[in-house]
Every structure is written in C-alpha cells, then in structure tokens.
Amino acid sequence: MTSTLITVAATGAEADKASAPALPVTLDELARTAAECEKAGAAVIHVHIRDDDAQPTLDVGRLKDTVAALRAASDLIVQLSTGGAVTDPFEARLAVLDAQPDGCSLTCGTVNFGDDVFANPWGFIKDLYQLTLERGVVPEFELFDFGHIAAMHRLLAEFGPPVGGHVHCDLVMGVPGGMPGDVATLAAAVERLPAGATWSATGIGRTTLPVMFGALAAGGHLRVGMEDTLTFARGRPVSGNAELVQRAADAATLAQRPPMTPAAAREFLGIPPR
Ligand code: KMH
Ligand code: ZN
C-alpha cells in the first residue's frame, strides 16, 4: 500500500488576516500550525511569511528565523515559497534560498493570476533551478498550466535531475488564469509528466474537493491549506489549517493510502540530511 504525501500551504501571500483571522501570520502562529498539522497528517509545510503588519515579505532574516522555528516545533519538511507575492522582484525570490530550507517551490512558467500576473520567465526559472542545485535545496515543480509542464521537461533536459534525484511536481489547479480544477484536466496533465515523477495536486477555492478526490483516485498526493482555500464548506470559513489537513488525511485513509510520515517523506522526496 502506498501512502499519501500531504503538504500544508498554511498562509500564502494573498489572503487578508483581517478577513481570515485563523490565517497564521506570526512566527508563533506558524509554529503552532506546523505542530497541529503534523499531528493531523501533514509531512511538508509550504511557507510564505508576513511582516509585523501581516503583509507578505521575503525578508531573509525573518525567513531564517521561520525555518528555525518550524524545525523546533515540528518534524515537517520546510518548503519555502520562491513565488512570494506577485509584486516580489526576482532577486528577492532567489534570495529565499539563503534561508537554507529543506525544499522550495519552483514555478515553471508565467500565469495570469486573477487580475495580476505571476511572472516566471525562462531566465528566472533556470537561474532558480541552478541555485537549488548549488545550494542542495530540493525543488517542487509548481505547474499552473500545461505550458509549465513543457518548461519543466526543458529544465530537466538542459540541467539534469534535481537535488535528491527525484522529480516531484504540484499541479496547482483552479487559479483564475491557469488550468481548471477538474478531473479531465488533472488526468491530461498527469499523462504529460516525466516518467518516474510523482505529483501532488492542489485545487484553489471551490475546486479543492474535486481535485483532492481526483488526485487520490489517480494515485497522486495532496496539497491543502489556507493559501488555497478559506472555506471548509459553502458559507463556512475554515477554523484553521489543521482542519483541512485532517480532512485530507481522512480522505486518504479512506482511499487506503494513509498519510506519509515526515521521515518517510524525506526519503520519498530525496531531502538530504541536514
Ligand atoms: N503567491 C503566488 C503569486 C509559490 O508559492 O511558489 C505564488 C505562489 C507560488 O504562491
Ligand atoms: Zn505558495
């Protein structure tokens, strides 16, 4: 029986603390979230941080403190976002690796992002990928659209396999401007992934549940969390990230693929020992 890797994307850069009070924005809130989500079945935490005004920041000192606090509070694999917010410059997004996380996100192309543009031109993608190789950080290939899959193939062909030797992707579905979050699209995307690659899937907003059930049925892994979804059911805000992780863990268990432990996930993803 294979198990299910559950990633919690706890904060993101877009949600507003005032309208989502359960959003973890302080170091303490993030550390507590990590411990609760590990207990509920998560193995990876995908991390965006906020400043003292709860606004997104890529401040490297704060990122280093966050990595240390998350490691003290849990055994979760710490995956820092290099996507940041749509306003973040490329240099600041590359400097995220100075915080020495276990892993990082690496988005494989530009995508319309609601009324904004999430910019990931080829030059940035290849610089970031080469930096992950230099620094020993395991990338997760974030795929918001089909063109991103082609760019990931190009990246691997030109620069070789990632740190750890294993390709793990995350299909980010249902972003307004990216690929839709439905089962037909999920199946078509999975078919185009490199041989031997593993994948998680994430459905934004109301696509969360179809993507979660589709991914489990198709042998994939799951990313859930308040970065992606702020309601548990129609008209009912989530009480916190752990509730979303627990729901994913319950669904995975029902599918006979219970949550993967952080230790097993380190081996699965090829995270080098610290
Ligand atoms: N906040 C989005 C613009 C990532 O973390 O790598 C980008 C994002 C992707 O969340
Ligand atoms: Zn993110």
Sketch the domain layout of the chain as residue ranges.
Answer: 6-269
Ligand with an atom nearest the CA of residue 148? 1
Write down the pLDDT at residue 56: 98
Ligand 1 contact via 124 beta carbon (within 6 Å): no
Q: Is 202 in the pocket of ligand 1 (CB under 6 A)?
A: no
Asked whether 178 lines ligand 1 (CB < 6 A), one says no
What average pLDDT is seen over the chain?
Answer: 98
Does residue 85 line the site of ligand 1, with CB under 6 A? yes
Nearest-CA residue for ligand 1 atom 4 is: 83
Whether the CB of 113 sits within 6 Å of ligand 1: yes
pLDDT category of residue 274 using cuts at 50, 70 and 90: confident
Span from the CA of 83 to the centroid of ligand 1 (angstroms): 4
Sign of torsion over alpha carbons 36, 82, 109, 158? negative
Would you state the pLDDT for residue 1? 62
What's the average model confidence in pLDDT over 127-146? 98
CATH number assigned to the domain covering 6-269 = 3.20.20.70
pLDDT above 90 for 117: yes
Q: Helix, strand or coil for residue 271?
A: coil
Ligand 2: centre distance to CA 47 (Å):
7
Distance CA 179, CA 146 (A): 7
Helical H runs in 74-162?
90-95, 122-135, 146-159
CA 53 – CA 45 distance, rounded (Å): 22
Neighbours of 70 (CB within 10 A): 25
Sequence-ordered list of residues with C-beta below 8 angstroms from that of 40, at least 6 positions apart, any chain: 242, 245, 246, 249
Nearest CA to ligand 1 atom 1: 85
Of 271, 225, 262, the closest CA to residue 75 belongs to 262
Ligand 1 atom at shortest distance from the alpha carbon of 48: 5
Q: Which residues contact 115 (CB under 8 A, 6 or more apart)?
A: none
Percent of the chain residues past pLDDT 90, beyond the cut? 99
What does the pLDDT read at residue 232?
98
Ligand 1 near 8 CB (within 6 A): no
Task: Take atom 7 of ligand 1 and give the residue whose Cα is closest.
Answer: 83
- Please report, to the nearest 10 degrees, the dihedral formed by the alpha carbons of residues 189, 6, 182, 256 taken in order: 100
Question: How confident is the model at residue 139, as a pLDDT?
Answer: 99
Count each helix (H run) and each strand (E run) in the chain, helices first. 9, 14
Residues 6+ apart with CB under 8 A from 134: none
Kindly report, residue by residue over 31-45, the tens digit of the pLDDT. 999 999 999 999 999
Please give the distance, rounded to the nearest whole angstrom, from the Cα atom of residue 9 to the centre of ligand 2.
Answer: 7
Contact 107 CB / ligand 1 (< 6 Å): yes
212 has pLDDT over 90: yes
